[in-house]
Structure 1
């Protein structure tokens, strides 16, 4: 009797523990920052605790937005653009030094001082939308104020050696914010989560059921359709495309990724997708790789661990690096 009673009590305890186990739920929240919507997803058996952790992630995104965004008045970069000399903190110096690495990787094609050319083409809230193509003289004059090599860093003092030059953080800061938000989630015990800001994504682990996150890759000719699926498992993604921002002049579209050698939009690609372990790099690389020759992009991806790319060229040919997990739609 004693043995049977003990077995019964153990079975009862097991049922009680089973009943106390909370179901894993998906918790989502969305907020506006950097001119776009950020969405944070967590799989957790504690919805209230998950919301608190998501709140910490959004606070980190807001901190970076307010402190470094070139479009935010009073930010370090805004002050630098106005005064041409500013004392940066350690994090700000790190950001610009990482940008410089990508600038050099791209053989100076990736340049965050492109604002004069962007304004000439009408890619700025400060100017009217273009209705006619910019003239060659107009483009040439603007291009004279594009040169990231004139941004100098000495210890923590950042200087711009051209009074008509400005830094634009649009091509990298959103990815950095995603990276830092993901770090904040990991620090607080999140093992299954996801952060997206349209073209910048970071996956923390896998989904709640252990399967990879599946990301639909848009068709640049028709963004409502997908070309296929890329799976992410504790990875990041950055996307640059000719369909994201553009002006239409005389019935023809001109996108915002400008080649500073021609002063015109890049012509040989429609989209670049970067997959790696760092959403800050993925954001920068997607733009830098859009500006670089396709063979050099593939060479870099195929020779670098944990770095993969997908390119849609001007003829809609899909080109992928050796290790990218991409399932093309039938």
Structure 2
């Protein structure tokens, strides 16, 4: 009996040693980073993997998905459906399931904002010089009234998978497409086994879970009053961020800055907010919401936030801050 007990003890000891050896040999995931210039900005991707070749291959697939979205929908890309719709005699296109999803969400926010979120704003942006030709003076009221005639998303119809627009209406994808591209890249990473990841196009961010070491992703928010300073730091996991600010894209006319988030009714940049930050489960929706909130009242923003599980922070023109209850900075 004594011999049996000794053998059993040795077997158990060997089993423990074997398990410890396996755990000890397990590779700690390495951090891999790539950056590409797409959508007119730098997009950074961070993932964790135990294999460099595999990591690079997966990131290549994710970046290729961003390129696909750019080529398919970007209104500034001459190969895209939207560019061709805007710049030819074509007045309608057939949408696949992806296209239906994108434009149905656009339609929802157009209605929620009573038409203030309007992706047919391009003529007004061009008038202010957000294109190839810079302006030397502020647009006249006559010029503004003239271009306002061609700004109206209600003239874009979506029925039975067909998107139709009136001749002089042009669609601008700048307020939402980067966010959608990041969402798709995130899904590609997930489908290929990535469990910890980060994708950023500066104003749009998507994350997969936490960092590999278990810590949260930390995002520094610029102070809209002074971009060399931080407003604070956000800590997130498996969430997305959309940021819209009056300091991001602007033109200078006679020494004064005019930003690109327009009030289509007045024809001038919206002047009661400096920055809107949105946290959502989707980078696509966070992008749409951050732009939409610029043109909404605080009460309406709060109600929408509560109903749609969205967190927000608003920096007003006087530098005061309003935020949702669970927005921690």
TM over 0.5: yes
Give yes or no for the alignment of 1:85 onto 2:92: yes
Of 234, 237, 248, the match for 2:238? 234
**Aligned residue number for residue 16 of structure 1:** 21
Matches within 5 A, 1:33-112: 33-81=38-86, 82=88, 83-112=90-119
CA contact (8 A) 1:302 1:322 kept: no
TM-score (norm 1): 0.93
1:140 aligned to 2:156? Answer: no
Unaligned runs of 5+ in 1: none
Distance 1:231 1:220 in 2: 19
Alpha-carbon distance between aligned partners in 2 of 1:248 and 1:206, rounded to the nearest angstrom: 40
What is the CA deviation profile of residues 40-62 of structure 1, one whole-angstrom value per residue up to 9, with x for unaligned ones? Answer: 11122233222222111111111
In the alignment, the residues of structure 2 paired with residue 11 and residue 321 of structure 1 have an alpha-carbon distance, to the nearest angstrom, of: 51
- Alpha carbons 1:39, 1:196 under 8 Å: kept: yes
Residues 80 and 159, structure 1, Cα contact 8 Å, conserved in 2: no
Partner of 2:126: 119
Report the structure number with the largest CA radius of gyration.
2
Following TM superposition, the consecutive aligned residue runs of length 4 or more in structure 1 with deviations greater than 4 angstroms are 1-5
Of 77-86 and 309-318, deviating more is: 77-86
TM-score with structure 2 setting the length: 0.93
Please report how far the alpha carbon of residue 13 of structure 1 lies from its aligned counterpart in structure 2 after TM superposition: 2.7
The whole-number CA distance in structure 2 between the counterparts of 1:228 and 1:114 is 32
- TM-fit CA distance, 1:232: 1.0
RMSD across aligned positions (CA): 1.6
Alignment match of 1:319 (pick from 295, 300, 322):
322
Tell me whether 1:258 sits opposite 2:262 in the alignment: yes
Unaligned runs of 5+ in 2: 1-5
- In the alignment, the residues of structure 1 paired with residue 52 and residue 243 of structure 2 have an alpha-carbon distance, to the nearest angstrom, of 31
| 1:129 match | 134
Q: Distance in 2 between matches of 1:164 and 1:4?
A: 85
Q: Write the distance in 1 (CA, Å) between the matches of 2:117 and 2:292.
A: 5
